[in-house]
């Protein structure tokens, strides 16, 4: 099976469209799409992103911390000022149906040898796997050989060696498939569709092919200016719009 894996769309419809078109243009032909949470928050198109997801022939979606904050399942005060402003704005925008959709998404799923969570196996929603030490703490909690996470907005692969249990980080090369060893275990982050933070403003996503055990990270440019203009029109914090240009 081939899975299109994406995360942290963050209400950026232009970036989401670019990813879906790029996957089509590359003829990736996924059997399913896995979205690892944070469909909304930060960006100007919360309803449109939920509805685009719903319009796909198949998808699996998880809850993220911004989704939960919008639903008041997490305390919005724990977010920084601009993130909080965007969450409060998003609450005023989402239709009751789309709020119900977000509310119905689980915080973890196990499918086809993969554990899917937004944050980490230790704390589904909230923990950032941002270095090898945190990854090493989480490997013992893996219930499947491969764990797919989002939340940091940085594409990354952590590998646990089957023999030594040593954990190392591999920065994925874009467009280059990495064959996963069946004996090792992996924590893989596809990066963010709508708000990349690795210094590359292009939207990020991945493809996992369970038949060939290959993971590929892809990047696709999108019209950042278009998203920024809608953010300004919505009155969202200017610094959230600006950071899209830098991928930070
Ligand atoms: Zn996020």
Low-confidence ranges of the chain (pLDDT < 50): none
Contacts of the segment 110-114: beta carbons below 8 A, 24+ positions apart = 110/143, 110/144, 111/34, 111/60, 112/1, 112/3, 112/210, 113/144, 113/145, 113/146, 113/210, 114/3, 114/144, 114/146, 114/147, 114/148, 114/208
Q: How far apart are CA 160 and CA 44, in angstroms?
A: 38
CA of 203 from ligand 1 middle (Å) equals 13
Helices (H) and strands (E) in the chain, counts: 8, 12
At residue 32, the pLDDT reads: 97
Q: What residue ranges do the domains of the chain occupy?
A: 2-245
Q: How far is the CA of 42 from the centre of ligand 1 (A)?
A: 9
CA of 162 to the centre of ligand 1 (A): 31
24 Cα: distance to centroid of ligand 1 (angstroms): 24
> In the prediction, which pLDDT does 177 show?
97
Q: Which pLDDT score is estimated for 218?
A: 98
Q: Which of 82, 76, 52, 43 is nearest to 195 (CA)?
A: 43
State the CATH class of domain 2-245. alpha beta
Given the structure tokens 């305390």, which residue do they identify? 75
**DSSP 8-state secondary structure symbol assigned to residue 173:** P
The alpha carbon of 66 and the centre of ligand 1 are apart by a number of angstroms equal to 7
Residue 156 has a pLDDT of 98
Q: What pLDDT score was predicted for residue 134?
A: 98
């Amino acid at each position: 099976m081939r899975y299109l894996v994406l995360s942290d769309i963050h209400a950026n419809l232009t970036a989401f469209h670019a990813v879906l078109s790029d996957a089509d243009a590359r003829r990736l032909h996924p059997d399913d799409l896995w979205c690892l949470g944070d469909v909304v928050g930060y960006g100007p198109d919360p309803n449109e992103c939920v509805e685009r997801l719903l319009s796909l022939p198949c998808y699996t979606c998880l809850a993220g911390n911004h989704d939960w904050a919008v639903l008041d399942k997490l305390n919005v005060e724990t977010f920084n000022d601009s993130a909080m402003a965007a969450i409060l704005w998003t609450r005023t925008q989402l239709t009751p149906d789309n709020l119900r959709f977000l509310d119905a998404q689980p915080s973890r799923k196990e499918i086809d040898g993969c554990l899917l969570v937004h944050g980490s196996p230790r704390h589904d929603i909230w923990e950032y796997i941002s270095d090898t030490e945190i990854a090493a703490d989480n490997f013992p909690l893996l219930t499947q050989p491969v764990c797919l996470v989002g939340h940091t907005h940085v594409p990354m692969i952590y590998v646990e060696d089957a023999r030594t249990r040593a954990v190392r980080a591999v920065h994925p090369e874009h467009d280059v498939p990495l064959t996963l060893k069946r004996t090792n275990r992996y924590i893989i982050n596809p990066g963010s569709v709508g708000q990349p933070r690795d210094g590359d403003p292009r939207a990020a996503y991945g493809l996992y092919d369970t038949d060939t055990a290959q993971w590929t990270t892809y990047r696709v440019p999108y019209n950042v200016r278009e998203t920024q203009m809608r953010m300004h029109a919505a009155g969202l914090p200017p610094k959230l719009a600006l950071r899209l240009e830098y991928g930070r």
